[in-house]
Structures are given as C-alpha cells and as structure tokens.
Amino acid sequence: MQLRAPIQLVALLVLAVLVGCSPYKGSCSWLQPAHGEGIKVTGPRETASSECNCIGCAAPGEFSLERNAYTVEIWNGDRWYPELVLRARAPDGSKLLLRSPQLKSLENADPLFGRWREFDYFLSGPFGETAGPTAPLRFEVESPSGEVLGEETIQLELVIRTDYSIEFI
C-alpha cells in the first residue's frame, strides 16, 4: 500500500512532462576578446534567468585591458545573443572617453537595466552568423580634456553554442 503513492507521483510527473513540456534546441552566442595583448579575464559569463544555460557554455564574461594611464573594462552581457559593453577609467577611478565609430555611447540610452548601467559604451553589430574571428574593435582612449592616452585594437571572437532545454507550454 505504501508503494502506491510514489508510483502515482512518478506517473503524474511523466504525464506533466508529456503534456506540458517540449524539448527545445536553440543557440546562444557571445563575443569575447582574444586572449593576449594585455587582455585579462576577470570573471565568468553569467546568463540572465535560464537563457543560454547549455552544457559546455561555461565561458569568460568579464575582461580588462590595463595600461599605465587607464583600464578598459569589458563585459559580454548576459543574453543569448552577442552584446559587448565597455568603460574606461583612469588610475584614480575617474571616467575616460572611448572614441570609435564602432562604439555607441550609453550616456542617453534609456532605459538601461542591470549591469548595463555600469558601462558607458556598447559595440554595435552586425557580428556575423558563424563562429570565429570578427572585425577587430579599434578605439582611442581620451581624457575629458581630449588628450589621447592610447590607441587600442582588440581582436574579437564570436562564440556560438547549441542550447538544449525543456520549454513549458
């Protein structure tokens, strides 16, 4: 008699899976700077809610490029599609400017959610449809007075992974 309750529970769970769920195969992608050239990984890639939680998708997500006059911090977002945001700071923590036709300012962007509020620029696409190297990101780092502190070229890579999950209907 005690065995009947677990069997009913298992049957109910199997029925819920068969009726209320379906397997889903999707993909997720992100941009990451190529290692080297002073790029350091400073944190893992963490996704929003259940997006891009695929097996084997562990990847770096936060990066820094350190020079004597500045540090450029880079984050590759938390969504299933590629995004890249940046900020530059002087050694004293003050904000520096990034100049590039590839970068768009987040200064007047509205609304900014989550970690996007911490950054000053985003990289506009398109990034392509196949994994591998993309066009390099080129920019100048400037002081608020307009003095050029450095010029940078960062090779980027588009990473694409398959995402298998169960979708509830």
Q: Model confidence over 49-81: pLDDT tens digits? A: 666 665 556 788 899 999 999 999 999 888 778
- Judged against a pLDDT cut of 60, whether residue 15 lies above it is answered with no
In a domain, 106, yes or no: yes
In a domain, 74, yes or no: yes
In a domain, 11, yes or no: no
- pLDDT, residue 28, reads 79
Q: 16: pLDDT confidence band, cut at 50, 70 and 90?
A: low
In a domain, 8, yes or no: no
**Mean pLDDT of all residues in 41-56:** 73
In a domain, 36, yes or no: yes
Q: Assign residue 146 a region: left if phi > 0, alpha if psi is -120 to 50, beta otherwise? A: left
In a domain, 123, yes or no: yes
- pLDDT, residue 130, reads 82
What domain range includes position 116?
26-168
- Judged against a pLDDT cut of 80, whether residue 20 lies above it is answered with no
Phi, psi of 123 (to 5 degrees): -90, 125
In a domain, 4, yes or no: no
In a domain, 2, yes or no: no
Token representation of residue 88: 């530059």
- pLDDT, residue 145, reads 96
- pLDDT, residue 128, reads 73
**Mean pLDDT of all residues in 43-50:** 76
Number of compact structural domains in the chain? 1
- Judged against a pLDDT cut of 70, whether residue 133 lies above it is answered with yes
pTM score > 0.95 for this model?
no
- Judged against a pLDDT cut of 90, whether residue 45 lies above it is answered with no
Q: Which residues are CB-contacts of 42 (< 8 A; sequence separation ≥ 6)?
A: 62, 63, 64, 73
Q: Assign 58 to helix, strand or coil.
A: coil
Q: Model confidence over 107-126: pLDDT tens digits? A: 877 766 778 889 999 997 77
- Judged against a pLDDT cut of 90, whether residue 9 lies above it is answered with no
Q: 6: pLDDT confidence band, cut at 50, 70 and 90?
A: low
Share of the chain above pLDDT 90, in %: 41
